[in-house]
Copies of this chain bind each other. A is one copy, B any other.
Amino acid sequence: MKSLEEKTIAKEQIFSGKVIDLYVEDVELPNGKASKREIVKHPGAVAVLAVTDEGKIIMVKQFRKPLERTIVEIPAGKLEKGEEPEYTALRELEEETGYTAKKLTKITAFYTSPGFADEIVHVFLAEELSVLEEKRELDEDEFVEVMEVTLEDALKLVESREVYDAKTAYAIQYLQLKEALQAQK
């Protein structure tokens, strides 16, 4: 198999922000021709599928400026420098929902937009939840509303496009699959 790799010839930083950086790279394609790639650098993120003992999913309603609308997501947040994803997952769950978890299991990780960004999302299942006695502070530019929904309700939120993002769609489907596999036994 011939290599599909693209070699960097030159790299220009266009923007450095508080969340993302933007680069344009001149690359040499596998056939030797030249092209340009637009690349968004992101610190990576975690997402937490938190399920109560009663089987309810903890979700957060949040305004998303890029979409100019409010959507319902599983709790999530950016990795801070040097943080282990497990640590960030628990922190974001606590900050956004007021719950903490005794049991945290890695489900998977995936890149969200490999064509133009390096953002990776680490997805965790959080169980054995309890309410924190002292609420943790949200980031000062974060405003969320916490919801507890059954899997059935979550599927309705997907249907009505109130749930509308990849990590949340994946997490809900994960629970559906888990339930279907258990029913087989």
Q: A15-B14, A110-B166, A169-B170 are in contact. Are A65 and B30 (CB under 8 A)?
A: no
Distance, CA A164 to CA B17, complexed state (A): 26
CB of A158 within 8 Å of the partner chain: yes
- For residue A176, which residues in chain B have a CB less than 8 angstroms away from its CB? 177
- For residue A111, which residues in chain B have a CB less than 8 angstroms away from its CB? 64, 66-67, 71, 164-166
- For residue A20, which residues in chain B have a CB less than 8 angstroms away from its CB? 38, 40, 116
Question: Closest CB-CB distance, A68 to chain B, in whole Å?
Answer: 8
Whether A64 and B173, one on each chain, are in contact in the complex, defined by CB atoms closer than 8 angstroms, is no
In the complex, chain A residues 111-167 whose Cβ is within 8 Å of any chain B Cβ:
111-119, 121, 140-141, 143-145, 158, 164-167
CB of A81 within 8 Å of the partner chain: no
Whether B66 and A40, one on each chain, are in contact in the complex, defined by CB atoms closer than 8 angstroms, is yes
CB of A106 within 8 Å of the partner chain: no
Q: A18-B38, A76-B115, A117-B117 are known contacts; what are 20 more A-B pairs with Cβ within 8 Å?
A: A4-B62, A4-B144, A14-B22, A15-B38, A17-B38, A19-B116, A20-B40, A20-B116, A33-B141, A42-B113, A64-B114, A66-B118, A73-B114, A110-B166, A111-B164, A111-B166, A113-B117, A113-B119, A114-B164, A170-B173
